[in-house]
Amino acid sequence: MNRNIIKQKLKSFFAFLIILILFPYIVSVFANGADIRIGSGENASYVTVRTEDADGGEQISKVKWTDYLAGILAREIPEDYEREALKAQTVLIRTALYRELENSEDKVLSEDYMSTAEMEARWSKEEFEEYYRTYTEVVKATDDMVLFYNDGYAWTPFHQSSCGMTRSAEEVTGSKEYPYLKVKECPLDKEANDEIHIYTFDYNEVLRRCRDFLVAEEGEEKAEQGYSFSDFEILETDSAGYVSSLRIGQTTCTGDQFRDALGLSSSAFSFSEKGDALQITTTGNGHGLGMSQWTANEMAKEGSTSEEILNFFFEGTTINTEIQETELL
């Protein structure tokens, strides 16, 4: 056979092989647009985000992945926190986003974030440049790092500060699905900013805010009679000191239900009487599960790395940079 013919056939064969390999990518680009990237992590340039516009309507937009992570960080953790604490927070947020995407059919994210325009409005130009650079640098420094438990993404809750100890997920949820969320002593949280809050509520205001579950349990007549200090009793606290159940009249509810209804900073609270009103004193900021940002920052000041911080709060998880083989973004 002529040598030129053989060369030509070999060229045709290899060209066909290349087309065969690239075919799935070509189809994906034509079907989804040029912004779609195969795979996930920081190599995927954009994510699809669902936000609420000024009129309360839904808006879907494409956002740069790095800007999205930086924008969530800007909402969730102070810009002047230590770099290792910021890195730990970034890993938690990234893990939560991958976890959300894995369970989402449309691959649209819904976590609130600050756009660069909102960041510029929040800070001066010089501050914006500094803080934005800090947030984007920790995103890149933790490139694709996530927390795994067994073969899946871990649940990675966090809060501003605890009441001195973080909570057990088993006690809060009644499930053994998250054994890595244990009670952790955080004595440094006692010195956190705004650690103690004192609220005073008129009893009618308490009734108004808790009306749905009070009326459902007690009936309209009892609820309309109103309440006094003797109608409020803490029945049980969990091992971290958060209220797990309380009595309001004849109704029993959880401390988290009560916290959410009244907009309290924490469900670690106590009652006292102040004239004709109910006084509530809370300790900590947030639900108390997972990482305390305040203690994470104090650990970073003392030399702890982001890996050490994560291992402390999520004992039993592993830090992984190998994203599961699901096309997420």
259 shares its domain with 277:
yes
251 shares its domain with 273:
yes
Quote the longest CA-to-CA distance of the chain. 106
Those residues with Cβ within 8 angstroms of residue 29's Cβ, 6 or more apart along the chain or in another chain: 36
Which pLDDT score is estimated for 56?
Answer: 72
Q: Which of 287, 329, 286, 234 is nearest to 28 (CA)?
A: 329
Does a structural domain hold residue 89? yes
149 shares its domain with 50:
yes
Q: 157 is written with which tokens?
A: 């809750």
Those residues with Cβ within 8 angstroms of residue 136's Cβ, 6 or more apart along the chain or in another chain: 66, 67, 70
Does a structural domain hold residue 257? yes
Q: What are the helix (H) ranges across 142-292?
A: 169-173, 203-218, 220-225, 255-262
90 shares its domain with 139:
yes
Those residues with Cβ within 8 angstroms of residue 291's Cβ, 6 or more apart along the chain or in another chain: 88, 89, 92, 156, 157, 158, 159, 166, 309, 310, 313, 314
55 shares its domain with 135:
yes
Assess whether pLDDT exceeds 70 at residue 36. no
Q: What is the mean pLDDT of residues 198-221?
A: 83
Q: pTM of this prediction?
A: 0.82
Does a structural domain hold residue 163? no
Does a structural domain hold residue 141? yes
**Buried b / exposed e along 173-192 (16+ C-beta atoms within 10 A):** eeeeebebbbbbebebbeeb
Type of residue numbered 328: L
| Structural element, H or E, at residue 270 | strand 269-274
Mean confidence (pLDDT) of the chain = 85
pLDDT bin (cut points 50, 70, 90) of residue 11 is low
Task: State pLDDT tens for residues 95-126.
Answer: 999 999 998 888 899 899 999 999 999 998 89
Task: State pLDDT tens for residues 180-199.
Answer: 999 999 999 999 999 999 99
148 shares its domain with 72:
yes
224 shares its domain with 251:
yes
pLDDT bin (cut points 50, 70, 90) of residue 218 is low
Q: How far apart are CA 112 and CA 73, in angstroms?
A: 10
Backbone angle region of 118, left / alpha / beta, with phi > 0 → left and psi within -120 to 50 → alpha = alpha
235 shares its domain with 253:
yes
What percent of the chain lies above the pLDDT cut of 70?
A: 81
Which pLDDT score is estimated for 25?
Answer: 41
- Which segment of 119-128, 155-164, 217-226 scores lowest on mean pLDDT? 217-226
294 shares its domain with 269:
no
CA 75 to chain centre: 11
CA 176 to chain centre: 20
Does a structural domain hold residue 168? no
Pairing of strands 243-248, 251-253: antiparallel
Does a structural domain hold residue 174? no
Which pLDDT score is estimated for 12?
Answer: 57
103 shares its domain with 56:
yes
Which pLDDT score is estimated for 103?
Answer: 86
28 shares its domain with 124:
no
Which pLDDT score is estimated for 51?
Answer: 80
Domain that residue 28 falls in: 3-34
Q: How far apart are CA 314 and CA 154, in angstroms?
A: 9
Does a structural domain hold residue 325? no
Which pLDDT score is estimated for 33?
Answer: 35
Does a structural domain hold residue 277? yes
Q: How far apart are CA 164 and CA 185, in angstroms?
A: 6
148 shares its domain with 221:
no
Assess whether pLDDT exceeds 50 at residue 41. no
Domains in the chain, number: 3
Q: Which of 210, 329, 199 is nearest to 264 (CA)?
A: 199
CA 53 to chain centre: 22
Task: State pLDDT tens for residues 275-301.
Answer: 999 999 999 999 999 999 999 999 999
